[in-house]
Amino acid sequence: MYDFAYQKPSSVADAVKALGAEDAKALAGGQTFIPVLKQRLNKPSVVVDLARLGLAGIKVTGEAVVIGAMTTHGAVAASAEIRRAIPALANLASMIGDEAVRHRGTIGGSLANNDPSACYPSAALALGATITTDRRAIKADDFFQGMFTTALEPGEIITSVSFPVPAKAAYMKFKNPASRYAMVGVFVAKGPAGVRVAITGAGQGGVFRHAAFETALSANWSADALAGIATPADGLNSDIHASAEYRAHLIGVMARRAVAAAG
Amino acid sequence: MPQVTLTVNGKSASVEVEARTLLVELLREKLALTGTHVGCDTSQCGACVVDVDGVSVKSCTMLAVQADGAKVTTIEGLAAADGTLHPMQEMFREHHALQCGFCTPGMVMSAIDLVKSHPEGLTEAEIRHGLEGNLCRCTGYHNIVKAIAAAWPLMHGKAMPAAAE
């Protein structure tokens, strides 16, 4: 790892200011960023630790689950309030990485990184979440802009994420047995914004919505409604873990399981 | 260079480190606590797990500066001053939950957090899920799972609730 200067500001305004320095990078839970630094894939001049900004916390109302950006996956998985309001979200968090990784990794870090195999982007997109930053609110539909790319401006910090409570939702992932990242993850939701199906782990451009599945499920919310709808392999990832064709097949399987689990 | 002040196994320590120093490097190289191992150095294997402010953390994937002000417990901090083993260590010994021992410090630290965070009891499936971040290449996990189930009643001072067994 290259050395860097380290700052731990105690206000969002100070953190934004510190991130204005050339080649400054934000550090949330570090479960992706620290491995990236170890591999010397990134050479920041300053690392700005967001741990002291007071951005961790969970608030649940009748209509929404609002999660502070620095809330860990472990805290989301263990939250009885989230488990009551959106059990699919708590389940998703409980399957990220492993116990120790979940104690450090954060929702804000995951969304800002937008790894094409990360779990959280699918929940944000399928539930129609709103991502709030130090300067604005961004709809999930506008937030994810391709692999490792988001609508965030340089130095912009996510402060919280608001998930509207759906009538039904479930997440199913076919995980890589070593890394536990999603080889294919499917989040299905029937909520205030209608039926939405988001796929992670599969697309070359990161998380995406599955229009054909959404149309079928809007007419008939059942796993059977998805039978016979093929997903084209075009634009899907092909790597040592799975071919694009296999991922296309898994999307159908995971989607049917998710709808069945959502009830 | 940044100064890091933290409590390790009940003792205060103040160490000057480079910002890029990992917590595991601080423990092993600055404080000579070599019980915490580095296995894969890629946050997969869990040999480096320590307790930071009450939760298990992979110390190869945390900067030392992030632990400023934290309370850290390592494998060296578990046994009593007279050498009496922690119940989890004792059950690992009792159930032969190790062969080469390289993964053991991380296994024990993860196992203690797992038992503490499940006062309602633990099923075998939950123990195996809880150990997903700890790799053992010798024992095949079976005796490790047995040791953790056996440590639960000792740590909670009561029998494991029947529903969880």
Q: Which fold has domain B87-164?
A: DNA polymerase; domain 1 (1.10.150)
Q: A237: which residues sit within 8 A by CB, 6+ positions away?
A: A116, A201, A202, A203, A204, A244, A247
User: Looking at the whole model, is its pTM more than 0.90?
Assistant: yes
Q: Helix and strand tally (H, E) in chain B? A: 5, 5
Q: How confident is the model at residue B140 (pLDDT cuts 50, 70, 90)?
A: confident
Residues of chain A neighbouring B115 (CB-CB closer than 8 A): none
Termini Cα distance of chain A: 48
Q: What is the pLDDT of residue A177?
A: 81
> Once rounded to an integer, what is the mean pLDDT over residues B13-26?
98
Tell me how far apart the alpha carbons of residues A194 and B28 are, in angstroms, rounded to a whole number.
Answer: 54
Question: Is A64 a residue whose pLDDT tops 70?
Answer: yes
Tell me how far apart the alpha carbons of residues B14 and B113 are, in angstroms, rounded to a whole number.
Answer: 26
> Once rounded to an integer, what is the mean pLDDT over residues B138-159?
95
Smallest Cα distance from A102 to chain B, Å: 9
What are the pLDDT digits (tens) for A3-34?
Answer: 999 999 999 999 999 999 999 999 999 999 99
Strand, coil or helix: A47: strand
User: What ipTM goes with this model?
Assistant: 0.95
Smallest Cα distance from B65 to chain A, Å: 8
Q: How confident is the model at residue A173 (pLDDT cuts 50, 70, 90)?
A: very high
Q: What is the pLDDT of residue B35?
A: 98
Task: Report the mean per-residue pLDDT for chain A.
Answer: 97
Selected for mutation to probe chain A from B1, B58, B126, B148 (highest A CB count within 10 Å) is: B58
Interchain CB distance below 8 Å, B58 and A101: yes
Selected for mutation to probe chain B from A10, A98, A102, A176 (highest B CB count within 10 Å) is: A98
Whether the Cβ atoms of residue A258 and residue A188 lie closer than 8 Å to each other: yes
Q: What is the pLDDT of residue A104?
A: 98
Question: Is B30 a residue whose pLDDT tops 60?
Answer: yes
Helices B87-94 & B142-156 angle (0-180, nearest 10): 140
Question: Is A82 a residue whose pLDDT tops 60?
Answer: yes
Q: What is the pLDDT of residue A253?
A: 98
Cα distances (angstroms) measured from residue B55 to each of A51, A132, B40: 16, 28, 21
Domain B3-77 is in which class? alpha beta
One-letter amino acid of A76 = V
Q: Two tokens at A236?
A: 């899907």
Tell me how far apart the alpha carbons of residues A121 and A127 are, in angstroms, rounded to a whole number.
Answer: 10
Residues of chain B neighbouring A51 (CB-CB closer than 8 A): 66
In terms of DSSP H, where are the helices of A73-186? 73-78, 80-85, 87-94, 99-102, 107-113, 120-126, 140-143
Length of chain A: 263
Q: Which of residues 109-138 of B touch A (CB under 8 A)?
A: 110, 113-114, 117, 130-134
**DSSP, res B29:** I
The CATH number of domain A1-51, selected from 3.90.850.10, 3.50.50.60, 3.30.43.10, 3.10.20.440: 3.30.43.10
One-letter amino acid of A136 = R
Residue A213 burial class via C-beta count within 10 angstroms: exposed 0-12, middle 13-18, buried 19 and up: buried
In terms of DSSP H, where are the helices of A95-199? 99-102, 107-113, 120-126, 140-143
User: Structurally, what CATH architecture does the domain formed by A52-164 represent?
Assistant: 2-Layer Sandwich (3.30)
Interchain CB distance below 8 Å, B56 and A100: yes
Strand partners of residue A7: A48
What are the pLDDT digits (tens) for B152-165?
Answer: 999 999 999 865 55
Question: What are the structural domain ranges in chain A?
Answer: 1-51, 52-164, 168-262
Q: What is the pLDDT of residue B164?
A: 54
> Once rounded to an integer, what is the mean pLDDT over residues A228-255?
96
Q: What is the pLDDT of residue A192?
A: 87
Q: How many CB atoms are located within 10 Å of the residue B123 CB?
A: 14
User: Quick check: A4 contacting B, CB < 8 Å?
Assistant: yes
What are the pLDDT digits (tens) for A193-221?
Answer: 899 999 999 999 999 999 999 999 999 99
A151: Cα within 13 Å, side-chain hemisphere: 15
Q: Which residue of B has its CA nearest to A5?
A: B19
> Once rounded to an integer, what is the mean pLDDT over residues A97-119?
97
Interchain CB distance below 8 Å, A6 and B19: yes
Task: Report the mean per-residue pLDDT for chain B.
Answer: 96
CATH number of A168-262: 3.30.390.50
Selected for mutation to probe chain A from B61, B109, B110 (highest A CB count within 10 Å) is: B61
Strand, coil or helix: B57: strand
Question: Pick from B95, B106, B96: which is nearest to B135 by CA?
Answer: B106
> Once rounded to an integer, what is the mean pLDDT over residues A228-256?
96
Q: What is the pLDDT of residue B163?
A: 57
Question: Pick from A147, A134, A131, A163: which is nearest to A50 by CA?
Answer: A134
User: Quick check: A175 contacting B, CB < 8 Å?
Assistant: no
Residues of chain A neighbouring B44 (CB-CB closer than 8 A): 178-179
Interchain CB distance below 8 Å, B61 and A104: yes
What are the pLDDT digits (tens) for B75-132?
Answer: 999 999 999 999 999 999 999 999 999 999 999 999 999 999 999 999 999 999 999 9
What are the pLDDT digits (tens) for A151-166?
Answer: 999 999 999 999 999 9
Question: What are the structural domain ranges in chain B?
Answer: 3-77, 87-164
